[in-house]
Amino acid sequence: MLKGRCALVTGSMGGIGGATARKLASLGCNVMIHGLASPEDGNARRDEIAAEFGVKAGFSGADLSKLPELDELVATTVRALGPIDILVNNAVARGAGPIDEISDEVWDLAVAVNLSAPFHLVRRTLPGMKKRGWGRIINLASNWGLTGTRNRGDYVATKHGLVGLTRAIALETLEYGVTCNAIAPGATLTPNAERQLNKLMADSGKDRQTVEQEFFRARQPSGRFVRPEDVAELIAFLCGDAAREMTGTPISIDGGWLAM
């Protein structure tokens, strides 16, 4: 069903986005890779996916906080790969610190990348999906988009907004063969998580196993990271025919986090 479809996956040079791009390509999708990488690195990833899976692939380093670059990202994808059938809004910006210490710049960037960019990309791709009678929109939220935490106000607020936007889009597209869902991963072993663990080890002097145990004790009762590949499999399922009646739903994949 997905062979020959065109997928745009933001933030797909690694982590969940990278695993998703590879999974969709393995199912026959032509894929636009996106990320803040050098043209050399981005084009190398593009060529690797195209060669491995026998699909068309592209790369864009568009800055999602800038509207003209969003427009160019969509136009470049359509020119290179065809009309966009699958949109995965995965790119993220995040800060850290108490609300009264978050700078204007950090807040504005989080709103631009985490919430405004998905809105603008949906607005530019949805008319074609509706016209063709088929489309899949998947927004990467977070468990922090369903609950709250300290010192992450920009991230929590924008991810809650993204879940709300998901529900609104789903209700507006019921009769067009388009679905829109949100994925809410728990702690996932991404490059950002690796940086957090390394910092915790450096600050505390503790070994990796101890730091992971302490990290999971407060969050994820499974005691394991969610694998990016597992999230990618869930996204692929949502793109398939069996998920055609699933829409407007935030779906957790979190090792029991929200069950506590």
Distance (Å, whole) CA 250 – CA 247: 9
**Residue 176 is a catalytic residue:** no
Give yes or no for a contact between 100 and 161, defined as CB atoms under 8 angstroms apart: no
Q: What angle do CA 141, 144, 145 make, to 5 degrees?
A: 45
**153, containing H or E segment:** helix 153-172
Token duo for residue 124: 């530019």
CB 200 within 8 A of CB 215: yes
Calpha distance 128→75 (Å, rounded)? 13
Element housing 89 (H / E): strand 86-89
Angle of CA points 214, 93, 151, to nearest 5°:
45
Is residue 30 within 8 Å of residue 4, measured between CB atoms?
yes
Helix (H, G, I), strand (E, B) or coil at 70: helix
d(C-alpha 13, C-alpha 32), whole Å: 10
Annotated catalytic residue, options 155, 216, 225, 257: 155
Q: How far is CA 199 from CA 86, 96, 97, 160, 231, in A?
A: 36, 14, 16, 27, 25
List, by residue number, the catalytic residues: 155
